[in-house]
């Protein structure tokens, strides 16, 4: 959307929009100053900070008059408010805003065209961008590329977008067996509410009494997620899986601190972990201690125990993905969680692959104290997946192109008090950690997708999704097994919801690389699965016995 906005408007269009916004902001500033209010920021583009005490009123007086007119101003303190205009604001809106100040000050109103005289007094027009940001205004050209200077009519833009769309392979052509961050099935029915103004038109900081519907939806989503993940409380604030990991580890840290165990700073992480796990641990200041993997890709419990005991005085956490990033359910997961608990640590179960569990077991049940799930993943209802390959759903939010996402964390009751809050609109537990997202409920506007997905499928449907994911992945593994090296399976020869196909032998025997397989799949109109999965970085060669 942002790219097409830039293509459509081009540099001239953007300048014009900026000029209009700035011009209207100046007019408003002058107008409110004429009533005795003081604009305290002298250099501005689209935002005014207004001291209302100079006109003998309080910020509360102004806010209550504004709300009566259907307008929210930004609360700053008891004598100051903030107003930001954007291109959607027109002269009538400006008059409405001005009249809020007028009513508070003198109980009078002006007619819709009254501000025109302010504008002409200031010899302002909509494209004026001079004072008071003249010294900041850009004078060099920008967006000189042809694409930003060519498609400025609706038909031109439509044709350009269609031209791009025709190059694409998308869900309208077939399934996309890519990795975790890619959409596979995002039902239209769960996406539709996104375009409703009741969801899309609410500002993240809107007063809570104006967003009761949102509050109900978020509460229901959090409760449903707690139920299906096996936890006691959930926060949807984190914007991604990685952000969930960070939030979850902060919660663990706060828990240890409240038990006078704040010195605990060792985080055990298996070699099979997704790269975000050690990165998140490092971000909260934990020391990462890797745990070995066995040749079949599963956790080395002996190594885990050794390290948990060795670090027992400083053990903060163990991060483990279940089922693992190698596409197997670790048989020893419950034992692993017990080992960590026995040595004073908390267990973070990375639930990015939870699509293989929902309705069948749960992240909480296998022993986690806290987990994130990735709502911005996919529901592999139609076909399981391949990773050279992939992993799973979980709750239907499209994530192609990298955003936006929701990585909610579920916690057991002893961690619930520490769920994150927000400085503007408090959320979370009774002794919360600070916000992990710019907005109180993170990417709230897309929560409607997962809410609808869960409500439409219900318990039975969600369980069926998990079964299909497992069945499909195992079907593919079984069919390919005679010809390909399915790298990791459990002791029954089964994979979880995904599988890794090791193509190394073909490079040796026939000079064929992974990319050759991808291209050949494309010849048959299949989207290739995620390729070049760097197994070697997960299982060092000295710990890996190909024959077994």
Sites for ligand PLP among residues 254-283 (CB under 6 A): 274, 276
Indicate left, alpha or beta for 397 from its phi (over 0: left) and psi (-120 to 50: alpha).
Answer: beta
Q: Is 287 helix (H, G, I), strand (E, B) or coil?
A: strand
In angstroms, what is the minimal distance from the CB of 231 to ligand PLP?
Answer: 17
Phi, psi of 317 (to 5 degrees): -160, 160
Contact residue for ligand PLP among 25, 102, 129, 180 (CB under 6 A): 180
In the bound state with ligand PLP, the residue whose beta carbon lies nearer, of 94 and 249, is 249
Q: How many angstroms separate the first and last alpha carbons of the chain?
A: 50
Mode of pairing for the β-strands spanning 370-372 and 409-411: antiparallel
DSSP H or E segment with residue 362 = none
* 431 DSSP 8-state letter: S
Q: Residues 65, 109: contact at Cβ < 8 Å?
A: no
Number of residues that bind ligand PLP (CB under 6 A): 16
Q: Which residue is nearest to ligand PLP (CB)?
A: 241
Contact residue for ligand PLP among 204, 230, 241, 408 (CB under 6 A): 241
In the bound state with ligand PLP, the residue whose beta carbon lies nearer, of 321 and 466, is 321
Contact residue for ligand PLP among 230, 368, 407, 432 (CB under 6 A): 407
Segments of 205-328 assigned E as strands? 233-235, 266-270, 287-291, 315-321
Instruction: Please give the C-alpha separations between residue 158 and each of 145, 169, 188, 506, in angstroms, as whole numbers.
Output: 19, 19, 22, 45
Instruction: Please give the C-alpha separations between residue 391 and each of 274, 300, 304, in angstroms, as whole numbers.
Output: 11, 22, 25
In the bound state with ligand PLP, the residue whose beta carbon lies nearer, of 85 and 185, is 185
In the bound state with ligand PLP, the residue whose beta carbon lies nearer, of 22 and 399, is 399
Residue 242 touching ligand PLP (CB under 6 A): yes
Site stretch for ligand PLP (CB under 6 A), options 35-43, 119-127, 239-247, 254-262: 239-247
* Helix spans in 84-149 (H): 91-106, 115-121
In angstroms, what is the minimal distance from the CB of 274 to ligand PLP?
Answer: 4
Structure tokens at 190: 């769960």
Structure tokens at 174: 């077939």
Contact residue for ligand PLP among 352, 354, 476, 531 (CB under 6 A): 352
Sites for ligand PLP among residues 422-441 (CB under 6 A): none
Residue 321 touching ligand PLP (CB under 6 A): yes
Q: Cα angle vertex 219, ends 218, 222, to 5°?
A: 85
In angstroms, what is the minimal distance from the CB of 402 to ligand PLP?
Answer: 8
In the bound state with ligand PLP, the residue whose beta carbon lies nearer, of 19 and 244, is 244
DSSP H or E segment with residue 264 = none
In angstroms, what is the minimal distance from the CB of 325 to ligand PLP?
Answer: 5
In the bound state with ligand PLP, the residue whose beta carbon lies nearer, of 181 and 439, is 181
In angstroms, what is the minimal distance from the CB of 236 to ligand PLP?
Answer: 13
Residue 421 touching ligand PLP (CB under 6 A): no
Structure tokens at 382: 């139609």
H, E, C per residue of 137-178? CCCCCCCCCHHHHCCCCHHHHHHHHHHHHCCCCCCCCCCCCC
Phi, psi of 240 (to 5 degrees): -165, 175
Q: Which of 490, 18, 451, 393 is nearest to 181 (CA)?
A: 393
In the bound state with ligand PLP, the residue whose beta carbon lies nearer, of 402 and 541, is 402
Site stretch for ligand PLP (CB under 6 A), options 55-63, 261-269, 349-357, 506-514: 349-357
Residue 181 touching ligand PLP (CB under 6 A): yes
Site stretch for ligand PLP (CB under 6 A), options 29-37, 111-119, 346-354, 449-457: 346-354
Site stretch for ligand PLP (CB under 6 A), options 113-121, 159-167, 350-358, 499-507: 350-358
Q: Is 260 helix (H, G, I), strand (E, B) or coil?
A: coil
Contact residue for ligand PLP among 119, 391, 465, 468 (CB under 6 A): 391
In the bound state with ligand PLP, the residue whose beta carbon lies nearer, of 343 and 353, is 353
Site stretch for ligand PLP (CB under 6 A), options 118-126, 237-245, 414-422, 464-472: 237-245
Instruction: Please give the C-alpha separations between residue 60 and each of 52, 86, 289, 319, in angstroms, as whole numbers.
Output: 10, 24, 53, 47
Structure tokens at 441: 């409920």
Contact residue for ligand PLP among 29, 248, 367, 405 (CB under 6 A): 405
In the bound state with ligand PLP, the residue whose beta carbon lies nearer, of 52 and 333, is 333
In the bound state with ligand PLP, the residue whose beta carbon lies nearer, of 99 and 235, is 235
Sites for ligand PLP among residues 323-342 (CB under 6 A): 325
Residue 248 touching ligand PLP (CB under 6 A): no
Q: Is 135 helix (H, G, I), strand (E, B) or coil?
A: helix
Nearest-angstrom CA–CA distance, 415 and 427: 15
Mask for 354-383, x = binds ligand PLP (CB under 6 A)? --------------------x---------
Site stretch for ligand PLP (CB under 6 A), options 33-41, 195-203, 236-244, 264-272: 236-244
Residues 281-306: b if buried by 16+ CB within 10 A, e if exposed: beebebebbebbbbebbbbbbebbbe
DSSP secondary structure, 446-486, as one string: GHHHHHHHHHHHHHHHHHHHHHHHHHHHHHHHHHHTTTSEE
Site stretch for ligand PLP (CB under 6 A), options 33-41, 130-138, 235-243, 311-319: 235-243
Nearest-angstrom CA–CA distance, 450 and 443: 12
In angstroms, what is the minimal distance from the CB of 403 to ligand PLP?
Answer: 9
Q: Which residues bind ligand PLP (CB under 6 A)?
A: 180-181, 240-242, 274, 276, 321, 325, 350, 352-353, 374, 391, 405, 407
């Amino acid at each position: 959307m942002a790219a097409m906005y830039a293509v459509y408007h081009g540099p001239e269009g953007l300048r014009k929009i900026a000029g209009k916004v700035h011009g209207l902001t100046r007019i408003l500033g002058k107008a409110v100053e004429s009533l005795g209010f003081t604009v305290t920021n002298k250099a501005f583009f689209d935002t005014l900070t207004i001291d209302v005490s100079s006109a003998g009123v309080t910020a509360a007086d102004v806010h209550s008059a504004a709300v009566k007119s259907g307008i929210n101003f930004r609360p700053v303190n008891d004598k100051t408010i903030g107003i930001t205009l954007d291109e959607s604001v027109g002269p009538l809106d400006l008059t409405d805003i001005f009249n809020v100040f007028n009513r508070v000050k003198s109980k009078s109103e002006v007619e819709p065209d009254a501000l025109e005289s302010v504008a002409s007094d200031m010899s302002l027009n909509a494209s004026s961008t001079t004072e008071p940001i003249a010294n900041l205004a850009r004078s060099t050209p920008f967006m000189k590329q042809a694409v930003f200077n060519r498609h400025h009519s609706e038909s031109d833009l439509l044709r350009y977008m269609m031209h791009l769309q025709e190059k694409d392979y998308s869900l309208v052509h077939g399934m996309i067996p890519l990795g975790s961050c890619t959409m596979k099935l995002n039902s239209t029915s769960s996406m539709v509410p996104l375009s409703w103004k009741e969801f899309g038109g609410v500002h993240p900081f809107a007063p809570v009494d104006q967003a009761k519907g949102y509050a109900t939806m978020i509460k229901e989503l959090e409760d449903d997620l707690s139920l299906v993940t096996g936890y006691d409380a959930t926060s949807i604030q984190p914007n991604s899986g990685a952000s969930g990991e960070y939030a979850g580890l902060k919660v663990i840290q706060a828990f240890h601190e409240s038990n006078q165990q704040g010195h605990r700073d060792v985080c055990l992480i298996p070699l099979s972990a997704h790269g975000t796990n050690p990165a998140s641990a490092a971000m909260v200041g934990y020391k990462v201690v890797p745990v070995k993997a066995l040749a079949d890709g599963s956790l080395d419990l002996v190594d885990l125990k050794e390290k948990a005991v060795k670090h027992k005085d400083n053990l903060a956490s163990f991060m483990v993905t279940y089922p693992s990033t190698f596409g197997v359910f670790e048989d020893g997961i419950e034992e692993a969680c017990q080992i960590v608990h026995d040595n004073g640590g908390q267990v973070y179960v990375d639930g990015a692959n939870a699509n293989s569990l929902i309705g069948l077991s749960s992240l909480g049940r296998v022993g986690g104290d806290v987990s994130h799930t990735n709502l911005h993943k996919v529901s592999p209802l139609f076909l399981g997946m391949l990773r050279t390959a992939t992993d799973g759903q979980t709750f239907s939010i499209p994530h192609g192109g990298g955003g936006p996402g929701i990585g909610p964390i579920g916690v057991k009751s002893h961690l619930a008090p520490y769920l994150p809050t927000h400085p503007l609109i408090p959320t979370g537990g009774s002794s919360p950690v600070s916000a992990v997202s710019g907005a109180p409920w993170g990417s709230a506007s897309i929560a409607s997708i997962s809410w609808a997905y869960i409500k439409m499928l219900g318990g039975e449907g969600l369980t069926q999704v998990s079964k299909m994911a497992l069945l499909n992945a195992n079907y593919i593994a079984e069919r390919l097994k005679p010809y390909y090296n399915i790298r990791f399976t459990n002791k029954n020869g089964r994979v979880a919801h995904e599988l890794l196909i090791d193509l190394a032998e073909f490079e040796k025997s026939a000079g064929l690389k992974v990319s050759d397989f991808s291209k050949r799949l494309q010849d048959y109109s299949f989207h290739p699965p995620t390729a070049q999965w760097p197994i070697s970085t997960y299982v060092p060669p000295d710990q890996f016995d190909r024959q077994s």
